[in-house]
């Protein structure tokens, strides 16, 4: 069976445990081992689909239509694999299946308890994942040690090592080592307390990864080893770095890879970092730059748009350009329409996915401004739907709207499909995951993708209303990509502009470092072209996407 690396977190959340879990995976993958990753979210929601991205960060959509935690996206980008939705385990899912089995009579006569029934369910799920043909499973347990909700998972991890044997399971604990500004002293006490709490639950960490501004100095390292009962050679630092993609290299240089190989008795080769290093170089030393405005509702929280940001950066790196991002709150354009002129100083405008009416008229204003002032524009999902509304209004259909936003308007150019009208539940009822899209040759979409069939990921309820397609296209708008036997419009483009392009799907979820997403490459390239005054209407990008 596969071997396991459990990653737990201490001191506080938000210190980059997901990146460290993904980095550990990468370190082992660089040694030609087959790796996958699992994220455990101890909350009671069944999945991340109904959670507010403003509070919890982006909802990442998997190929098989899971609405998952954004760490799954980090795993996909680091490991260049598609992670299935079964790899995002929540307490909601665990309890649902145990209770369902109880109702079925599977436990007849028994009292159903957290130990062993909940812990068994957790371990069974992990074992199932281990049988997917991998050498290693990285399991990140969300939250911070000491949270009530994560206790059953830590208990399952404790049992797991007992069940599988010490050479098959490693526990990595990620903590924060704060620095006192005045003297620059690295404080280890929070780490000591966190490990004490972990050991009280029965889990002894083998490895400690300390997040700190600068590398751990010898003294605090010794202290951590002594008080946490960990070998000194198993205490690593993850200091602040320019690009998160440097994290695996940083940890491997300190010996984490060698430690894991020995500890897990893996027969492995020496690591090959050549292509990863090349990718990092392109991220760190670009020759030119573009500045893109992301016009959204949750504009102030970059975590809402992690995949969008990463897709833009991946695209930039491949084009030897740094992509500067500025978040623009579209609410402001509604209150003060003249403010939209701020967009004139950007090389490109992106309107990302979104829900609900607040800020949507402002987004429409941003799209109108980009179209009429020939600023490269990319619309994603909601951005695509609003581009349709904006275009319809420009054709004189003044009350054009979407039934999600303007239920009172007569012309719903974006609407639910007839079969969707009876959907009342909110969780898991959207059109989700990867669907095949057919692209017309000779279009901008084709020049970006270089192919006529692509699979891209979705998360939406509303669609371009088929009744308006003839009218919309008569004005010059082109739907160059469609799906579902031409019933659904997936890509729109307008010729004449440097770039006026939008997709019903979320192409960002498939962008990978070194293999950027074509629509995002299109925006960055158009931004670069427009900056250089080489006004190419169709920037042809031979995308490396396979
Ligand atoms: N609110 C829109 C819909 O449900 C768009 C969703 C999105 O942007 N992800 O169709």
Nearest CA to ligand 1 atom 9: 353
Tell me the β-bridge partners of 391: none
pLDDT digit string (tens) for 392-423? 999 999 999 999 998 888 899 999 987 776 55
pLDDT digit string (tens) for 187-204? 999 999 999 999 999 999
pLDDT given at position 535: 39
- Beta carbon of 457 within 6 Å of any ligand 1 atom: no
Going from the Cα of 382 to the center of ligand 1, the distance in angstroms, rounded, reads 5
Going from the Cα of 430 to the center of ligand 1, the distance in angstroms, rounded, reads 9
- Confidence band of 358 (pLDDT split at 50, 70, 90): confident
pLDDT digit string (tens) for 160-173? 999 999 999 999 99
Give the length of the chain.
546
pLDDT given at position 181: 76
Does pLDDT of 321 surpass 50?
A: yes
Burial of 199 (0-12, 13-18, 19+ CB in 10 A): middle
Average pLDDT of span 229-248: 95
Residue tagged 């997901």 (tokens): 18
CB atoms within 10 A of CB 513: 22
| Closest approach atom of ligand 1 to CA 354 | 8
Average pLDDT of span 151-158: 97
Going from the Cα of 224 to the center of ligand 1, the distance in angstroms, rounded, reads 48
pLDDT given at position 285: 86
Does pLDDT of 545 surpass 90?
A: no
Does pLDDT of 126 surpass 80?
A: yes
Strands (E), 177-234: 179-180, 185-186, 207-212
Contact 521, 319 (CB under 8 A): yes
Nearest CA to ligand 1 atom 6: 460
506 catalytic per annotation? yes
358 vs 141 pLDDT, higher one: 141
| Closest approach atom of ligand 1 to CA 430 | 4
Average pLDDT of span 517-528: 98
**What tokens appear for 201 in the block?**
């639950």
Distances in Å between the Cα of 278 and the Cα atoms of 71, 282, 487 are: 24, 6, 42
pLDDT given at position 544: 31
Does pLDDT of 383 surpass 60?
A: yes
Does pLDDT of 538 surpass 80?
A: no
pLDDT given at position 429: 75
- Confidence band of 184 (pLDDT split at 50, 70, 90): confident
pLDDT digit string (tens) for 98-124? 999 999 999 989 999 999 999 999 999
CB atoms within 10 A of CB 537: 12
Sequential DSSP letters for 256-280: HHHHHHHHTT--------HHHHHHH
Query: What do you get for the CA distance between the two ends of the chain, in Å?
Result: 31
pLDDT digit string (tens) for 437-473? 999 999 999 999 999 999 999 999 999 999 999 999 9
Nearest CA to ligand 1 atom 1: 355
Does pLDDT of 428 surpass 80?
A: no
> To the nearest whole number, what is the mean pLDDT of the chain?
92
Residue 457 φ/ψ, nearest 5 degrees: -95, 145
pLDDT digit string (tens) for 17-38? 999 999 999 999 999 999 999 9
pLDDT given at position 268: 78
- Beta carbon of 404 within 6 Å of any ligand 1 atom: yes
295 catalytic per annotation? no
- Beta carbon of 283 within 6 Å of any ligand 1 atom: no
User: pTM of this prediction?
Assistant: 0.93
- Beta carbon of 354 within 6 Å of any ligand 1 atom: yes
Going from the Cα of 72 to the center of ligand 1, the distance in angstroms, rounded, reads 21
408 vs 90 pLDDT, higher one: 90
Edge-to-edge strands, sheet with 3-9: 88-90, 35-41, 136-141, 3-9, 169-176, 207-212, 235-239
Q: How far apart are CA 477 and CA 392, in angstroms?
A: 10
**What tokens appear for 462 in the block?**
């509303």
pLDDT given at position 537: 38
Among candidate residues 360, 409, 390, 408, the one with its CA nearest the CA of residue 497: 390
Nearest CA to ligand 1 atom 5: 382
- Confidence band of 51 (pLDDT split at 50, 70, 90): confident
Does pLDDT of 242 surpass 80?
A: yes
pLDDT digit string (tens) for 282-307? 888 889 999 999 998 765 666 788 99
- Confidence band of 540 (pLDDT split at 50, 70, 90): very low
pLDDT given at position 427: 65
- Confidence band of 1 (pLDDT split at 50, 70, 90): confident
Distances in Å between the Cα of 80 and the Cα atoms of 83, 306, 514 are: 9, 16, 10
pLDDT given at position 300: 60
Best residue among 60, 416, 459, 506 to mutate for probing ligand 1, ranked by most atoms within 8 Å of CB: 459
Among candidate residues 73, 64, 80, the one with its CA nearest the CA of residue 544: 80
Residue 200 φ/ψ, nearest 5 degrees: -60, -35
Does pLDDT of 534 surpass 70?
A: no
From the candidates 67, 381, 458, 500, give the one annotated as an active-site residue: 381
Does pLDDT of 269 surpass 90?
A: no
- Beta carbon of 53 within 6 Å of any ligand 1 atom: no
Going from the Cα of 86 to the center of ligand 1, the distance in angstroms, rounded, reads 24
Sequential DSSP letters for 159-189: HHHHHH-GGGEEEEEEEE--EETTTTEEP-H
- Centroid of chain to Cα 492: 24
CB atoms within 10 A of CB 77: 24
């Amino acid at each position: 069976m596969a071997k396991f690396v459990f990653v737990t977190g201490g001191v506080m959340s938000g210190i980059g445990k997901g990146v460290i879990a993904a980095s550990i995976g990468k370190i082992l993958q660089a040694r030609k081992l087959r790796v996958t990753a699992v994220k455990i979210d101890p909350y009671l929601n069944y999945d991340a689909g109904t959670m507010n991205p403003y509070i919890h960060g982006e909802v990442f959509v998997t190929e098989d239509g899971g609405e998952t935690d954004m760490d799954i996206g980090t795993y996909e980008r680091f490991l260049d694999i598609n992670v299935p939705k079964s790899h995002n385990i929540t307490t909601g899912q665990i309890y649902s299946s145990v209770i369902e089995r109880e109702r079925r009579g599977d436990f007849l006569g028994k009292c159903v308890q957290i130990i062993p029934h909940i812990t068994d369910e957790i371990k069974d799920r992990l074992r199932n994942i281990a049988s997917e043909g991998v050498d290693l499973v990285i399991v990140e347990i969300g939250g911070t040690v000491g949270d009530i909700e994560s206790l059953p998972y830590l208990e399952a991890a404790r049992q797991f090592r007992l069940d599988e044997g010490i050479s098959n399971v490693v526990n990595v604990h990620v903590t924060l080592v704060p620095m006192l500004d005045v003297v620059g002293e690295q404080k280890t006490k929070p780490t000591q307390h966190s490990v004490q709490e972990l050991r009280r639950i029965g889990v002894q960490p083998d490895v400690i990864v300390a997040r700190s501004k600068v590398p751990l100095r010898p003294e605090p390292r010794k202290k951590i080893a002594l008080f946490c009962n960990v070998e000194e050679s198993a205490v690593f630092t993850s200091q602040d770095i320019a690009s998160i993609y440097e994290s695996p290299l940083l940890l491997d240089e300190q010996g984490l890879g060698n430690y894991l190989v020995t500890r897990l008795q893996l027969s492995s080769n020496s690591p090959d970092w050549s292509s990863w290093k090349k990718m990092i170089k392109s991220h760190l030393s670009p020759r030119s730059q573009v500045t893109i405005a992301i016009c959204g509702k949750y504009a102030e929280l970059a975590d809402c748009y992690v995949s969008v940001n990463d897709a833009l950066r991946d695209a930039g790196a491949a084009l030897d350009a740094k992509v500067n991002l500025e978040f623009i709150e579209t609410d402001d354009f509604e209150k003060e329409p003249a403010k939209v002129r701020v967009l004139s100083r950007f090389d490109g405008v992106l309107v990302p996915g979104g829900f609900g009416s607040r800020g949507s008229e402002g987004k429409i204003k941003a799209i109108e401004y980009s179209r009429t002032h020939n600023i490269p524009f990319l619309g994603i999902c909601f951005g695509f739907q609003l581009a349709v509304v904006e275009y319809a209004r420009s054709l004189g259909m003044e009350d054009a709207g979407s039934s999600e936003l303007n239920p009172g308007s007569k012309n719903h150019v974006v609407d639910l499909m007839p079969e969707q009208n009876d959907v009342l539940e909110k969780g898991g009822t959207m059109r989700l995951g990867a669907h095949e899209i057919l692209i017309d040759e000779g279009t901008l979409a084709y020049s970006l993708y270089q192919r006529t069939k692509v699979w891209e990921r979705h998360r939406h309820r509303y669609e371009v209303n088929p009744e308006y397609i003839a009218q919309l296209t008569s004005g010059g708008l082109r739907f160059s990509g469609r799906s579902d036997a031409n019933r659904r419009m997936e890509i729109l483009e307008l010729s004449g502009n440097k770039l006026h392009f939008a997709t019903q799907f979320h192409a960002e979820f498939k962008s990978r470092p070194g293999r950027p997403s074509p629509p995002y490459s299109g925006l960055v390239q158009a931004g670069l072209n427009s900056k250089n005054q080489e006004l190419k209407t169709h920037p042809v990008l031979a995308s490396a996407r396979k």
